[in-house]
Structure 1
Amino acid sequence: MEAAAAYGAGRAGGAFDPVTFIKQPQTIVRAVSWLFSIVVFGSIINEGYMNRPTEVEQHCIFNRNPNACNYGITIGVLAFIGCMAFLALDAYFPQISSVKDRKKVVLGDIGFSAFWSFLWFVGFCFLTNQWQVTDLEKDDPLKEGADAARAAITFSFFSIFTWAAQAFLGYQRYRLGADSALFSQEYTDPSQDTSAPYGPYLSGDEMEAPGSYQQPLSTGSYTSASEGYQTQDY
């Protein structure tokens, strides 16, 4: 019963319950990941690009490396979109009647979450390294963006675990479906089914015993039982 509910089979076509949906661990973790992604790309966009009084062009606060800021913004925005998409799929999930479609959604959730957990790990290491080598002089105006840089690094670190948690919860949901044999509904050839109450299907050649074919009688020796006479050869 628990496995059926995990894949929506038990509640297919039922009314959407927002309270139950919000209380689900999967929903809570996605919402937290969604919030963390906003902090990361929002901090970099707002205060991640600064310049000194003698400069006109603004530079990335992470060691003036534009790749660091671009990486943080990119994975943050895509994580934001991914959370929204999977939250919508979670809400619609009980209405999916096809077992194959439910399986695709769960596997997609596992793959995307695990991959994004890895990208957050790379981002955390990248941003931390660039921040450590950033040269900030005393009373440097670039220090105004230090809090934003630290926030982006900190929530990149937290995002590693929230996205790993999403992958773990997705894997648990997949195992529930696999254990309930919802994913093993395959066609079985009746001829290979030993438990069937009937024998295997036989073709026309197999049904006719070897050597049972007889040549037709010649017309000369034909005897009519109904007329009572025998034809003669001429």
Structure 2
Amino acid sequence: MESKASGAYGAGMAGGAFNVLAFVKKPQVILRIVSWFFAIIVFGCISSQGWEEEVCKYNNDKNACGFGTAIGVIAFLGLTAFLIFDALFENFISSVQHRKYIVMADMGFSGVWTFFWFVCFCYLTDAWRKTTKEVVYGVSGVQAAIAFSFFSIASFAGITFFAFQRYRQGISETFASQYDQSQQGGPAGDSAASPYSGYPAPVGDTGPDPYQQPTFNQDQKPVTGDFQAPAY
């Protein structure tokens, strides 16, 4: 798991030196690289061995070959982009809002492609099962595309999990920083605290505050002497 970085989505680490060894050891980076190779194998096998004289070997279903190739190519391009974002994320992207958008895009893309790989696996498996024409060559490539479609389901599910963990961690750190500001009397501080300071007392004056009203429980001195109504 990733170590908790200071600031929402690890924004406190921006500006540091890029560590290649630490980067390649991250679980989500390892899964991306593995999924990257899986995607190459899938669309490479279908493109090179999935066709025979412009006939798709998956039960002569051109849609099966086209769908498998498209899913593999888009996965390859998406993984390449997010690998670049992973390299820039902690040290070169300082905006918390930009980090949040990247994490949300990662979570959405990985989740959708987990589903698409599942559909691709089921589609290719069913088409290959229905194939009646004997395949002379390229059987290993056709079957490899099916197998690595299945492996891609697991790898993309792992990427989705780590993206969700990073998103949840960023949300909790955002709320934590807002709470710290409120405790310190910041913008979200205690509304009961007065924004004005007390009136300064004169230099050398140690007596009571002349602007402080006396309380009602102090002893009241009775008025002495005769009281005469004023004459009008």
Provide the TM-score with structure 2 as the length reference: 0.74
In the alignment, is the contact (CA less than 8 A) between 1:4 and 1:177 conserved in 2? no
Cα distance change, pair 77–5 in 1 and its aligned pair in 2 (3 A): farther
Q: Does 1:145 align with 2:147?
A: no
Distance of 2:55 and 2:19 partners within structure 1? 48
SS of the equivalent of 2:6 reads helix
SS of the equivalent of 1:144 reads coil
Q: Does 1:10 align with 2:12?
A: yes
State the shift of 1:127 in Å: 0.3
Distance of 2:108 and 2:176 partners within structure 1? 18
State the shift of 1:184 in Å: 7.7
Unaligned 5+ runs, structure 1: 51-56, 200-234
State the shift of 1:197 in Å: 2.2
Partner of 2:113: 116
Query: Structure 1 counterpart of 2:83, which letter?
Result: L
**Superimposed CA distance per residue, residues 48-98 of structure 1 (whole angstroms, 9 cap, x where no aligned partner):** 101xxxxxx420000011000000100100100111000000000012111
Partner of 1:162: 155
- Equivalent in 90, 93, 114 of residue 89 of structure 2: 93
State the shift of 1:3 in Å: 3.9
SS of the equivalent of 2:39 reads helix
Partner of 1:59: 55
Query: Structure 1 counterpart of 2:6, which letter?
Result: A
Trace 1:127-206 onto structure 2 (pairs within 5 A).
127-137=124-134, 142-181=135-174, 194-198=191-195
Query: Structure 2 counterpart of 1:158, which letter?
Result: F
Partner of 1:48: 50
Query: Structure 1 counterpart of 2:88, which letter?
Result: Y
State the shift of 1:6 in Å: 7.8
In the alignment, is the contact (CA less than 8 A) between 1:178 and 1:184 conserved in 2? no
SS of the equivalent of 1:180 reads helix
Fraction of identical pairs, as percent: 49
Cα distance change, pair 136–184 in 1 and its aligned pair in 2 (3 A): farther
Partner of 2:220: none
In the alignment, is the contact (CA less than 8 A) between 1:34 and 1:79 conserved in 2? yes
Distance of 1:183 and 1:122 partners within structure 2? 40
In the alignment, is the contact (CA less than 8 A) between 1:7 and 1:93 conserved in 2? no
State the shift of 1:175 in Å: 1.2
Partner of 2:103: 106
Cα distance change, pair 184–118 in 1 and its aligned pair in 2 (3 A): farther
Distance of 1:182 and 1:89 partners within structure 2? 24
Provide the TM-score with structure 1 as the length reference: 0.74
Partner of 1:226: none
Distance of 1:112 and 1:64 partners within structure 2? 30
- Residue correspondences, number: 189
Distance of 1:193 and 1:10 partners within structure 2? 26
State the shift of 1:198 in Å: 3.2
SS of the equivalent of 1:198 reads coil
State the shift of 1:136 in Å: 2.9
State the shift of 1:178 in Å: 1.1
Query: Structure 1 counterpart of 2:112, which letter?
Result: F
Distance of 1:6 and 1:161 partners within structure 2? 29
